[in-house]
């Protein structure tokens, strides 16, 4: 499903760069600027710095004079407005609205079409798919009422009622995240790598664990923590604790080093 972020009358060049960065982190690249303050905003130093490497989004961005030009190909328009309008589209939170879209059969068909096009690389079919447009107004004045009235919904990010001011880049990041999750999201790389790391970690054998526990038993007695005459269940409990930890040989070596240090400290004392 084509997704476009439309920035209207943007006044700060840095916000354009921040918007590009926010979009790229969520996998979106289509940005259109409507009559920005700076005609060369895409090439300004502050824009490039704030983009933090999202130069492809800036290079792909377009500058147009009117909102009509920016809406070409878009079929579902989402305004962003903190204050609900008395007249116009309904005001909803991003997640609430996207959940409603997921219940719509036409929308689900568009998502399925997108999946098919991506797997078959059918660009022609992709061009015929529906387009989702997110509109953001000027940093100083927000969106004009007439622009809001053209939209299907006004998205209001649930913020602190006493301080709802959001930087433009932050607002775009939040909307882009919620929309990416709706479209399917990306799998966190850290989840798989962390699991693989645990599964592949070489484990200490039973003899290494037993030797380490014997070392600890002596050291704990040296520092007066364990009474050899009345040990109770301290060592069996430590044995269970270390078994749950699934220790590696390197970790056994560290624990033995701690035990050695405890005994040496006791001798000096």
pLDDT digits (tens, 9 = 90+) for 23-62: 999 999 999 999 999 889 999 999 999 999 999 999 999 9
Residues 99 and 145 in one domain: yes
Residues 165 and 234 in one domain: no
Between strands 153-155 and 31-34, the pairing is: unpaired
Residues 28 and 79 in one domain: yes
Residues 181 and 204 in one domain: no
Residues 180 and 133 in one domain: yes
Whole-model pTM: value is 0.68
Residues 197 and 151 in one domain: no
> Residue 60: which CATH number?
3.40.1280.10
Domain count, the chain: 2
CB neighbours of residue 30 within 10 Å: 19
Residues 104 and 159 in one domain: yes
Residues 66 and 176 in one domain: yes
Pairwise CA distance, residues 166 & 172, whole Å? 10
> For residue 54, what are the contacts with CB-CB under 8 A and spacing of at least 6?
17, 20, 21, 23, 24
The mean-pLDDT minimum among 127-136, 187-196, 220-229, 240-249 falls in 187-196
Domain stop point among 186, 213, 234: 186
Q: Choose among 163, 137, 165, 164: nearest CA to 150.
A: 137
- The confidence score (pLDDT) of residue 195 equals 47
Q: What is the DSSP string of 173-195?
A: HHHHHHHHHHHT----HHHHHHH
In this structure, are residues 5 and 176 in contact, taking their beta carbons and an 8 Å threshold? yes
Considering the chain, what is the average pLDDT of its residues? 87
- The confidence score (pLDDT) of residue 105 equals 76
Pairwise CA distance, residues 155 & 208, whole Å? 60
pLDDT digits (tens, 9 = 90+) for 140-173: 888 998 999 999 999 999 888 888 788 999 999 9
> Residue 231: which CATH number?
1.10.8.590
Pairwise CA distance, residues 132 & 107, whole Å? 11
Domain stop point among 170, 186, 202: 186
Boundaries of domain holding 16: 2-186
- The confidence score (pLDDT) of residue 126 equals 47
In the chain, alpha helices (H): 13-25, 45-51, 55-60, 67-70, 94-102, 105-120, 123-127, 145-149, 168-183, 189-200, 206-222, 234-245, 249-268
Domain stop point among 186, 201, 217: 186
Pairwise CA distance, residues 112 & 109, whole Å? 5
Average pLDDT of span 6-14:
95
pLDDT digits (tens, 9 = 90+) for 89-141: 999 999 999 999 988 877 777 666 655 555 555 544 444 457 999 999 998 88
In this structure, are residues 110 and 129 in contact, taking their beta carbons and an 8 Å threshold? yes
Residues 90 and 119 in one domain: yes
In this structure, are residues 136 and 143 in contact, taking their beta carbons and an 8 Å threshold? yes
């Amino acid at each position: 499903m084509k997704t476009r972020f439309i920035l209207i009358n943007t006044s700060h060049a840095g916000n354009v760069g921040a918007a590009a960065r926010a979009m790229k982190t969520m996998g979106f690249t289509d940005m259109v600027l409507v009559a920005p303050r700076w005609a060369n905003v895409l090439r300004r130093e502050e824009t490039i710095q704030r983009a933090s490497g999202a130069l492809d989004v800036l290079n792909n961005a377009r500058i147009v004079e009117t909102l009509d030009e920016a809406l070409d190909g878009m079929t579902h328009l989402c305004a962003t407005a903190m204050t609900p309008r008395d007249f116009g589209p309904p005001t909803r939170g991003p997640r609430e609205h996207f959940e409603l879209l997921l219940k719509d059969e036409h929308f689900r068909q568009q998502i399925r079409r997108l999946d098919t096009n991506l797997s078959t690389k059918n660009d022609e079919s992709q061009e015929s798919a529906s387009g989702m447009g997110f509109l953001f107004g000027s940093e100083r004045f927000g969106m004009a009422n007439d622009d809001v009235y053209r939209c299907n919904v006004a998205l209001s990010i649930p913020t602190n009622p006493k301080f709802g001011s959001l930087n433009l880049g932050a607002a775009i990041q939040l909307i882009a995240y919620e929309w990416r999750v709706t479209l399917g999201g990306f799998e966190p790389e850290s989840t798989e790598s962390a699991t693989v790391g645990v599964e592949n970690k070489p484990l200490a054998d039973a003899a290494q664990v037993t030797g380490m526990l014997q070392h600890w038993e002596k050291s704990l007695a040296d520092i007066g923590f364990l009474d050899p005459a009345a040990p109770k269940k301290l060592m069996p409990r430590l044995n269970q604790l270390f078994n749950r930890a699934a220790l590696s040989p390197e970790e056994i070596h560290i624990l033995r080093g701690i035990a050695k240090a405890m005994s040496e400290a006791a001798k000096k004392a």
